[in-house]
């Protein structure tokens, strides 16, 4: 029977962070995931606290930590250390992140012609982070035949002052659309297909030359150019370097609707870091049940394809992504079910789940639903005591946060994941794995 020191359920930012931290401390770690997580549909930045009232992520953490029941109340002080710890892991996977907790939150333009407040972004989006200089131009550059990026509509929207949320903005915004080699007559191109072409050095050189010519033909000079986030997948760093070298304006990627290349690169870097640390990830696994002895979790029973198998484990971390990730399921009768163990879920009454307007600035009360834990991320039962000694919950399944609306989900995920792992690996041994046993 396969066994592990720590089983992590979920392969998003929280689960992979927890797994890397546990593996680093020498534990045998297995990540079991139903599928890919929010990384693949998010913008690939690290959103710590992008709330309107905050000037920096640090300021945002402070404000959110003051909200009743917010996980930053007990995690907030760890965010800086968690970021410092994660950054080299990502860099080793070819994705440099810029910005820190004191970087001013900047209104970064998006591919629907809006802006989002961000401070910590991958290098490919970093050029969007600095304030706009007086007279600086923005060129929005699309790819002919690509249906997930509409430069005219984006540029028209970004010309409006109010979109920039009171921050600095470009002096001019123009749009162009460029035919890239071999793609001009194509239809139904997707972001991944274009990114893979950019990975090819020969194609890349001609494509970037074509982009450079088109951008140079736009009146004005310098400034920045917004491109759809398709600048490579395996070899993104090389594509970005070539773009920075040859384009006559500072390039930055605009994240798109899924599949998100910046998010896929983040996932790949996290996965590589975990594998380097000796852990493994199995995607396509459905959790059937978790076995326990009343005090401790003892095994996870998973199903993939046609087989069911049991992994004995010393500890379990649930990082299943809340409602969006499928870790919490809302029933029609108003109950919320935690899918792995049926843990108690803190949630508002069903009549109060959703506000009347989709975009209510106060958010929807249901967003804060989740699992209540102690400061070591142990879920708390109805009696106020931890449910199992060796069980932890991390990420968007935690109660008290609006991980989308408060733009804090990434900060909570990586900080809670790391703390969950550290608190487990500090727990005295007592797990079931025999030394030298074959890993799951």
Partner 1 sequence: MGEAHAYDVLVVGGGATGAGVLRDLARRGLRTLLVERGDYGTGTTGRYHGLLHSGGRYVAKDALAARECISENRILRRIAPASIEDTGGYFVATPDDPDDYVAGFQAACIAADVDCEEIPVAEALRREPALNPRIRRVFRLPDGSVEPWQLIESNIADARAHGSDAWSYQRLVGMERDGARIVAATLRDERSGSLTRITPRFVVSCAGAWSGQIAAMVDVTVTMHPGKGTMLIFNQRMTDTVINRCHKSSDGDIMVPVHTVAILGTTEQRVEDPDRYEITRDEVAALISQGEKLFPDLANMRLLRAYAGVRPLYQPPAEVTAAALKDGRQISRAHTVLDHGAMDGVDNYVTIVGGKLTTFRRMAEDTVDMVCGKLGVTEPCTTADEILPGQVPGKTYWLGHRLADHEAEGGGDADLLCECEFVTRPQLDAFLDRHPGASMDDVRRGTRVGMGPCQGGFCTFRAAGVVGERAGHAGATDVAEQADQAILGFLRERFKGTRPIAAGRQLQEQWMISGVYEGGLGVESLIEHEAPEASREVVSAQR
* Interface contacts to partner 1, rule CB under 8 A: 38, 41-43, 47, 107-108, 110-117, 145, 147-150, 152-153, 156-157, 159-160, 162-163, 165, 175, 185, 187-188, 255, 257-258, 260, 322-324, 326, 329-334, 350-351, 353-354, 356-359, 361, 366, 404-405, 407, 409
**Contact predicate 239/230, CB 8 Å:** no
Give me the least distance between CB of 6 and partner 1, in Å please: 27
Give me the least distance between CB of 220 and partner 1, in Å please: 19
Task: Give 307 or 359: the residue with its C-beta nearer to partner 1.
Answer: 359
How many Å apart are CA 150 and CA 127, to the nearest integer? 20
Give me the least distance between CB of 205 and partner 1, in Å please: 27
Task: Give 167 or 344: the residue with its C-beta nearer to partner 1.
Answer: 167
Task: Give 71 or 263: the residue with its C-beta nearer to partner 1.
Answer: 263
Give me the least distance between CB of 44 and partner 1, in Å please: 9
Phi, psi of 370 (to 5 degrees): 165, -165
**Contact predicate 148/228, CB 8 Å:** yes
Task: Give 349 or 428: the residue with its C-beta nearer to partner 1.
Answer: 349
**Contact predicate 381/344, CB 8 Å:** yes
**Contact predicate 83/131, CB 8 Å:** no
The kind and range of the H/E element at 19 are helix 13-24
**Contact predicate 378/386, CB 8 Å:** yes
Angle between the N-to-C axes of helices 191-199 and 201-216, in degrees from 0 to 180, rounded to the nearest 10: 110
Dihedral sign of CA atoms 195, 197, 201, 206 in order: negative
Task: Give 85 or 353: the residue with its C-beta nearer to partner 1.
Answer: 353
Give me the least distance between CB of 116 and partner 1, in Å please: 3
How many Å apart are CA 168 and CA 128, to the nearest integer? 11
How many other CB atoms sit within 10 Å of the CB of residue 96? 17
Give me the least distance between CB of 332 and partner 1, in Å please: 4
Task: Give 326 or 386: the residue with its C-beta nearer to partner 1.
Answer: 326
What lies within 8 Å, CB to CB, of 88 at 6+ separation is none
Task: Give 27 or 143: the residue with its C-beta nearer to partner 1.
Answer: 143
Give me the least distance between CB of 418 and partner 1, in Å please: 22
Buried b (16+ CB within 10 A) or exposed e, 340-376: bbebbbebbeeeebeeeeeeeeeebbbbbbbbbbeee
Task: Give 12 or 94: the residue with its C-beta nearer to partner 1.
Answer: 12
Give me the least distance between CB of 149 and partner 1, in Å please: 8
């Amino acid at each position: 029977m396969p066994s592990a020191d720590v089983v992590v359920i979920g392969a998003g930012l929280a689960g992979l962070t927890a797994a890397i931290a546990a593996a680093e401390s020498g534990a045998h770690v297995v990540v079991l995931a139903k599928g890919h997580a929010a990384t693949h549909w998010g913008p690939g930045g690290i959103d710590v606290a992008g709330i309107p009232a905050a000037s920096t992520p640090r300021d945002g953490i402070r404000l959110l930590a003051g909200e009743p029941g917010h996980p930053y109340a007990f995690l907030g002080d760890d965010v800086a250390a968690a970021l410092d710890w994660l950054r080299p892991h990502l860099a080793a996977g070819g994705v440099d992140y810029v910005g820190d907790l004191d970087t001013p939150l900047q209104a970064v333009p998006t591919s629907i012609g809006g802006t989002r407040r961000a401070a910590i972004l991958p290098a490919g989006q970093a050029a969007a982070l600095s304030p706009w200089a007086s007279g600086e131009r923005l060129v929005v550059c699309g790819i002919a035949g690509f249906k997930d990026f509409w430069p005219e509509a984006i540029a028209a929207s970004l010309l409006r002052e109010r979109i920039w949320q009171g921050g600095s903005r470009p002096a001019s915004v123009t749009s162009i659309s460029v035919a890239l080699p071999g793609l001009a007559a194509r239809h139904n191109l997707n972001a991944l297909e274009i990114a893979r072409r950019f990975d090819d050095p020969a194609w890349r050189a001609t494509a970037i030359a074509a982009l450079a010519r088109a951008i140079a033909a736009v009146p004005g000079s310098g400034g920045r150019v917004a491109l759809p986030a398709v600048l490579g997948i395996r070899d993104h760093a090389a594509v970005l370097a070539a773009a920075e070298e040859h384009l006559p304006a500072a390039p930055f990627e605009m994240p798109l609707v899924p599949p998100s290349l910046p998010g896929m690169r983040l996932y790949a870097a996290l996965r590589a870091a975990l594998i380097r640390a000796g852990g493994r990830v199995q995607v396509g696994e459905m959790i059937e049940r978790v076995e326990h002895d009343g005090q401790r979790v003892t095994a996870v029973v998973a199903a993939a394809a046609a087989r069911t198998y049991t992994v004995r484990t010393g500890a379990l971390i649930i990082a299943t992504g809340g409602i969006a990730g499928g870790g919490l399921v809302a029933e029609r009768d108003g109950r919320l079910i935690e899918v792995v163990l049926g843990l108690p879920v803190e949630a508002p009454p069903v009549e109060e789940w959703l506000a009347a307007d989709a975009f209510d600035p106060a958010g929807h009360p249901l967003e804060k639903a989740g699992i209540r834990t102690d400061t070591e991320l142990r879920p708390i039962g109805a009696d106020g005591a931890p449910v199992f000694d060796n069980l932890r919950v991390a990420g968007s399944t935690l109660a008290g946060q609006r991980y989308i609306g408060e733009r804090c989900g990434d900060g909570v995920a990586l900080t809670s994941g790391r703390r969950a792992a550290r608190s487990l690996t500090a727990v005295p041994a007592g797990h079931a794995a025999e030394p030298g046993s074959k890993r799951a």
